[in-house]
Amino acid sequence: MGRGLTLYDTGNVIDDYWPLPFFDQHWGCIFLLDLLDGRPSRLRLVPIRTRPWPVRLAQGREKQAMMARMRTASAALGTRLQETAEGLELRLPAGAG
């Protein structure tokens, strides 16, 4: 009980919402879920820019800022993300999901 995986705010890659002047919505993450023996074992977050078109991988300071924001938001929910070369990841305990 209490184990599982919930992803919030994952739709910006598909549908970007109306602009908010105080909040940059032109970025997001591609979420990749790795399975081991049919069970979730790792979640990878790859930062992307959705505007201007086309969608592309985030780089440099922009990528670092995105990862910092995602790590802060995740930490507030009790989840610690680890930095990797491609972005962030969360190793899931055996039997998660």
List, for residues 53-91, the tens digit of each pLDDT value: 788 999 999 999 999 999 999 999 899 999 999 999 999
The CA distances from residue 3 to 34, 65, 92, 93, 94, in Å, are 17, 29, 10, 9, 10
Residue 30 — pLDDT band, cuts 50, 70, 90?
Answer: very high
pTM of the complete model: 0.80
Residue ranges of domains in the chain: 11-91
